[in-house]
Structure 1
Amino acid sequence: MWVQLLITALLVALLPLSLVWVSDDADKYRKLIGVTLFLTLDLIIFGAFTRLTDSGLGCPDWPGCYGQANPWQSLSAIQSAQALMPHGPVTVQKAWIEMTHRYLAMCVGVLIVAQMIISWWRRSKLKHSPWLATGLFFFVCLQGAFGAWTVTLKLQPVIVTIHLLLGMGLLALLTWAWVREGSNTLTQYAKQNLTGIATFALVLLFLQIALGGWVSTNYAALACHDYPLCNGELIPELDFSHAFSLWRQLGQTTSGEFLPFSALVAIQWVHRSFAWLVVFVILYLAYLVKKIGVASNLAKALFILIFLQLLSGASTVFFSWPLLIAVIHNAGAALLVLLLCMLNYRVRHAATP
């Protein structure tokens, strides 16, 4: 099985590697980082699709599917599990969704290994040291470990949420590496230092993504059936103690009882309330950036994306969490991470006149 999975990962990675190799881009190393960044963004979006379609346990073992490298080889085992529980987590469709997610993750892993090898092999010719590429390798290994625990610990909310955050962290590091390789001389100037607020905005965004992941992994998306009120109240009954106890099984309290509905309401209410602080800080940062002209296009993109993210978040409530809008909402969060990382790099490297 392991040999088959390795061959599958190499075959899937062969296409993006070939595209980099035959491209006319003079800087193929940066092209490789860009392709890896794009596929990591795709991986995060497809991971959201996997979670939202309840396909995370479509193959209840790891790294294969019922001990095989693909669902074709384990078809009889999958069909037997589906016959026992027709509405359970294991179906042929969910197995393919889960394994496709794993194949894409393995492809990203291969591309990051390639980056690390190239960065050390050509370290005298590249603009920067190979340590960031090496750090990315260890980071993706950690991400893979949490991907395995997500399955083996049966979608334990804290593990799934950390898996999401690590995915966003990998996206952030790849964005930083890609922007860094493309920077030459400093041609932009800043009248004031925006490093502090840019960092603050990125930290707040990651906290909000953690809260959003906590909503999704606890299936609390529809705990409030209206917006901006929550079940007709500004502050409904909230059970914070059970809502934010981290080490517990899905749908249960730490003592093994069913999670009360007021805890689900608290999870949803905190996520939507904290969102307003995140929106205010990012919009204020975008305003400052637009005002001083360090990265005006990034500021415009942030304005548009924040509006769309608010719209998609509210729409998930109004339309009772449709799959497409929920995936778009997750994609918007990933794009915000990408834009804020680019902006953080720009404001840190803007010269003072």
Structure 2
Amino acid sequence: MIDKQAALRFRRLGILTIFAVYFVILVGGIVRASGAGMGCPDWPTCFGQWIPPTNESQLPPNYHEIYAERGYDNTDFNPLKTWTEYTNRLIGVTIGFFILLTAWASRIYLKGDKNIFYLALSVLFLVAFQGWLGSAVVASNLKPLMITLHMLLALFIVALLIYAIARSQKAFIAQIDSHLLSERFVTVLKIAMGMTLVQIAMGTQVREAVDFIAHQHNYIEREYWRDSFPLLFYVHRSFSSIILFTNLWLVWQIHKAVEKHNLLRKLSYALTGLIVTAIIAGITLDRFGMPPVAQPIHLLMANLIFGMQFFIFICVKYSASKSPQYE
């Protein structure tokens, strides 16, 4: 028998951690949109200091040469960009503590469902690896492949957290009535999740191309950036229509198969809202001169879409099994 209060604490802490991870993804998007990705050209220190400087006079006179020798050309100190990136790192460290607490709270399941504990423990190790990967991204001078790996790992971490929390609530989820949903629905849902991952991967590559174009334009004249967009941008844009209609089919199937107050229906409506918001943010980027505020929103929505799809998938699988593990 699992202690109900301890299980409640684990669930609340886990949900808080999930939101915190999405928050750090949002902050990471702000870092990219503001061009602050190299605001700290070294890691884990920032310009060789644990607390970064606030003025260029606090740096060695030859700091340009120092970082040029390390492969970082044109490393000009910008206090806003430096502290934006440094804040991103501090938030990342805070997430690490949340993950640690979640792993510790999951120990109550060692006598019930050990997989929940092992999932939480795996997340802890993956977050540590993600921290190392973040340093590798900086060391690579923001190479597109490294950025893509960094983003996909963040998605995997969130997915494991969602699965761990959902598994701890298996008895509740199993009560959801989804018997009218066909096997084809599950198949299409899996395809939709795969499509979302591909779209996110393409998006990170497009984002890198935009960063290069922005650098060429000295981060001004945003209305002209679109003229230099790569072919991948147009593939990415067109693919969003396929993703939209695929997910709308899923939402329609849920709408027909489940009752009005069913959790699945609420989740499907939330998924629709996320997709529409992501597309609107994408159109804003495309047609209104790449406004910085739209970039992190677009990124966050993409990550939330995958998380919502994955949670719907878990709910359908658990509700179909009708075999709650805990009383």
**TM-score normalised according to structure 2 size:** 0.80
Give 1:172's match in structure 2, choosing from 142, 145, 159.
159
Q: 1:216 to 1:27 in 2, by over 3 A?
A: same
> What SS is found at the alignment partner of 2:46?
coil
Q: Does structure 1 residue 341 correspond to structure 2 residue 322?
A: no
Q: Report % sequence identity.
A: 26
Q: 1:80 to 1:221 in 2, by over 3 A?
A: closer
Contact 1:65-1:74 at 8 Å conserved across structures: no
Give 2:79's match in structure 1, choosing from 84, 92, 117.
92
CA deviations 1:2-60 (Å, max 9, x no partner) are xxxxxxxxxxxxxxxxxxxxxx9971111111111111010000001011111111110
Q: 1:54 to 1:64 in 2, by over 3 A?
A: same
Superposition pairs for residues 69-84 of structure 1, below 5 Å?
69-72=50-53, 76-77=58-59
Contact 2:251-2:268 at 8 Å conserved across structures: yes
1:128, CA displacement in angstroms?
5.1
Residue in 1 that maps onto 2:97: 110
Give the whole-Å Cα distance in 2 for the aligned partners of 1:132 and 1:182: 14
Letter in 2 for 1:134: L
Q: 1:127 to 1:218 in 2, by over 3 A?
A: same
Give the whole-Å Cα distance in 1 for the aligned partners of 2:211 and 2:80: 24
Contact 2:39-2:82 at 8 Å conserved across structures: yes
Residue in 2 that maps onto 1:286: 251
Letter in 2 for 1:287: W
**TM-score normalised according to structure 1 size:** 0.75
Q: 1:182 to 1:352 in 2, by over 3 A?
A: closer
Residue in 1 that maps onto 2:293: 324
Q: Does structure 1 residue 205 correspond to structure 2 residue 176?
A: no
1:92, CA displacement in angstroms?
1.2
CA deviations 1:255-280 (Å, max 9, x no partner) are xxxxxx5xx42121121122222222
1:222, CA displacement in angstroms?
7.7
Give unpaired runs (5+ residues) of structure 2: 69-73, 215-221, 323-327
1:221, CA displacement in angstroms?
9.6
1:65, CA displacement in angstroms?
0.8
Give the whole-Å Cα distance in 2 for the aligned partners of 1:155 and 1:345: 34
Residue in 2 that maps onto 1:255: none
Give aligned pairs, total.
295
Q: Does structure 1 residue 188 correspond to structure 2 residue 153?
A: no
CA deviations 1:237-292 (Å, max 9, x no partner) are xxxxxxxxxxxxxxxxxxxxxxxx5xx42121121122222222111111112221
Letter in 2 for 1:348: K
Contact 1:198-1:344 at 8 Å conserved across structures: yes
> What SS is found at the alignment partner of 1:218?
helix
CA deviations 1:101-140 (Å, max 9, x no partner) are 1111111112212222332365226685411112212221
Contact 1:33-1:115 at 8 Å conserved across structures: yes
Give the whole-Å Cα distance in 1 for the aligned partners of 2:245 and 2:22: 25
Q: 1:271 to 1:222 in 2, by over 3 A?
A: farther
CA deviations 1:73-126 (Å, max 9, x no partner) are 8961289759x99x9563111111111111111111122122223323652266
**Which structure: greater helix fraction?**
2
> What SS is found at the alignment partner of 2:51?
coil
Give the whole-Å Cα distance in 2 for the aligned partners of 1:116 and 1:151: 28
Letter in 2 for 1:337: F
Give 2:240's match in structure 1, choosing from 275, 289, 303.
275
Considering Cα pairs closer than 8 Å and 6+ residues apart, tell me whether 1 or 2 has the greater RCO: 2
Give 1:120's match in structure 2, choosing from 100, 104, 107.
107
Give unpaired runs (5+ residues) of structure 1: 1-23, 232-260
Give the whole-Å Cα distance in 2 for the aligned partners of 1:170 and 1:78: 39
Task: Compute the RMSD of aligned alpha carbons.
Answer: 3.1
Comparing 31-40 and 282-291, the one that deviates more: 282-291
Give the whole-Å Cα distance in 1 for the aligned partners of 2:299 and 2:130: 18
Comparing 115-124 and 309-318, the one that deviates more: 115-124
Give the whole-Å Cα distance in 1 for the aligned partners of 2:102 and 2:12: 10
Contact 2:54-2:79 at 8 Å conserved across structures: no
Q: Does structure 1 residue 66 correspond to structure 2 residue 47?
A: yes
Q: 1:32 to 1:78 in 2, by over 3 A?
A: farther
